[in-house]
Amino acid sequence: MKKEYQTVNPSNAKLLETYPMLTLPEIDQTIKKVKNAQLLWRDYAIDQRIECVQKIKALLLQKTDQYARLITNEMGKTLKESIAEIKKCAFLCDYYAEYAKAMLSPQKINYQRLNAERVFAPLGVIYMIMPWNFPFWQVFRAAIPSILIGNGIVLKHAENVIGSACAIEALLTEAIALPLLKNFVIDLAHSEHIIKHCDIAAVTLTGSNRAGSVVAKQAGEVCKKTVLELGGSDAYIIRKDINVEQVAKDIVNVRMLNSGQVCISPKRLIVDKSIKVAFEQAVLNAVNEIVVGDPLVESTTMGPMARADLRDNLHRQIEESIAQGAKLLTGGHFLETDNAKGFYYAPTVLTDVTPSMQAFQEELFGPVIAISYAGNDEEAIELANNSKYGLGSAIFTKDIKYAKEVAEKRIEAGMCFINQCVASHPALPFGGVKQSGYGRECSQEALRELANIKTVLIGS
């Protein structure tokens, strides 16, 4: 009897679907099928590939409601957030349809009398390991640049969003008319077999630090490239010259998106201590406006967390941080809605958080605002960098010259936004440093990471 996974609706804890896992022979057969499709696909002209990406965009827009409802049912974000996710995937397709041809064109190497070019060729079949928090967006931002290069894809999606993975496979197969992306429902123990398979050229993973280190080790043993987008505990420096009410509201709204389950969410607020009282009250005012409930209901602004174990772990981190001295201003407990028992957690605010506490050193992947205080700019920068993570960051201040200097030279992160919360965008390189991983997604960098940057020279 085959092993299987079950998906569960986090808003009511009810079973959605059951999916049998592939056996090793089935895994090998599927990799071979994708490899054969990739060998055909690599000979498609870039204009043909772009045409297929435009078909993908059309299907996304045509089936937006269907896909959005699937996302919400599988992992719990509000329906309006799921709709926005699908539209963002379509926007990404638009971006690459417009710019990929120029980005992938051969580049003449002008030096002395060298008759040489830099060309961008496919690597082959890419193994993509993707998370549940943005079931479509995370896959598309990795997959669309890769298929434009000429690669094929085998996708191991998170176990709680297998329905989304199946829908993505069907969508791409319809648009491309080749089995260029295949979804793998597998026992995790078989992942190493896939990584080390002779027809797998590289691996890209978005996930935890633990998963990233395992994948990097396994891929390194067979000299295969990896791109890792791992955890984040983004620090936001809040100086005293800001509009307190507006900045607090903007940050709370972004932090509570997707029930706080966003890698680039503002997880550590480093606030000038002179505005402590006003800032805390402004944060509480914004939190009190959040409506937690059924994610399919229009008036809901925050749904459940994606899984019970994630909620339980978040609660443990909060309780331990309080035991370590953090002050709980609101929240810190499970919630049950009127209509059903699901994996809901109250929007939570912790203050007086210090570097010795879990809320500072660990990633809190849920609806929690953690506030620390700094006496001056140098202390704020030191606190911001006092983390093993280095994904996103932000500075809020009226002094743009100062903020730009700090963003460019002082903050240890892959991204730093000024007077705006960090967000992913097709045109902006996305990725981190330190334990937040390496490599970049989006923009032209995504078209380089999983390409063979090949030198072609013609002798005299």
Q: For 273-397, where are the E strands, in sequence order?
A: 327-330, 334-335, 344-345, 348-351, 368-374, 389-390, 393-396
Tell me which residue has tokens 């909060």.
318
Would you state the torsion angle of the CA atoms of residues 287, 289, 290, 295, taken in this order, to the nearest 10 degrees? -170
- What gap in Å lies between CA 63 and CA 70, rounded to an integer? 11
- What gap in Å lies between CA 195 and CA 202, rounded to an integer? 8
Spacing of C-alpha 454 from chain mean position: 29
**Annotated active-site positions, please?**
229, 263
- What gap in Å lies between CA 373 and CA 282, rounded to an integer? 15
Max CA pair span of the chain: 78
Buried b (16+ CB within 10 A) or exposed e, 303-315: bbbbbeebbebbb
- What gap in Å lies between CA 348 and CA 455, rounded to an integer? 54
Return the SS3 of 12. coil
Q: For 31-151, where are the E strands, in sequence order?
A: 107-109, 116-122, 125-129
- What gap in Å lies between CA 113 and CA 110, rounded to an integer? 8
- Helix (DSSP H) and strand (DSSP E) numbers for the chain: 15, 22
Based on its alpha-carbon atoms, the radius of gyration of the chain, rounded to whole angstroms, reads 23
Return the SS3 of 143. helix
- What gap in Å lies between CA 286 and CA 266, rounded to an integer? 15
Return the SS3 of 344. strand
Q: For 157-222, where are the E strands, in sequence order?
A: 181-183, 200-206
